[in-house]
Amino acid sequence: MIRRTRRISWLKATLDEFKTFPEGARARCLAALTIAAEGGKADIAKPMHGIGSGVFEIALRLRGDAFRVIYAVQVGEDVWVVHAFQKKATQGIKTPKHEVDLVVGRLKRLKEIL
């Protein structure tokens, strides 16, 4: 059986955020997104709970910094990247509420557009 690779689509603001990541972080996140586009789930990606099914968070630690990329696989035909940010919290692994709220808002608007 031939698996169809889905297109990876970016919200403009998300792509702008992602471009500020260091090269190594971008490369690892892009590799994880490619796995998602091929129908899999990278080892650095995990379901993002409380937002709905099909939303995943890539969690990457690199040289003491933490980077996050949020993508959705159940919105339209593409894998949609809806948020990218460098996590600033010095303690705990939980994604900050204002970041979660931003993801929820972007997903809502994306679903309305599509």
pLDDT in tens, 14-56: 999 999 999 999 999 999 999 999 999 999 999 998 898 999 9
pLDDT for the residue numbered 4: 83
Residues 6+ apart with CB under 8 A from 70: 48, 55, 56, 57, 58, 81, 82, 83, 84, 103
pLDDT for the residue numbered 1: 64
At residue 95 the predicted structure's pLDDT band, cuts being 50, 70 and 90, is confident
Closest to 56 in 3D by CA, of 46, 41, 67, 66: 46
Q: Phi first, then psi: what are they for 22, rounded to 5°?
A: -65, 155
In this prediction, residues 106-110 reach a mean pLDDT of 96
As given in the structure block, the two tokens for residue 101 are 């709220």
Domains in the chain: ranges and CATH? 8-113 (3.30.2310.20)
- The 10s digit of each residue's pLDDT in 56-93 is 999 999 988 999 999 999 999 999 999 999 987 656 67
- Which burial class, exposed, middle or buried, applies to 53 when counting CB atoms under 10 A from its CB (0-12, 13-18, 19+)? exposed
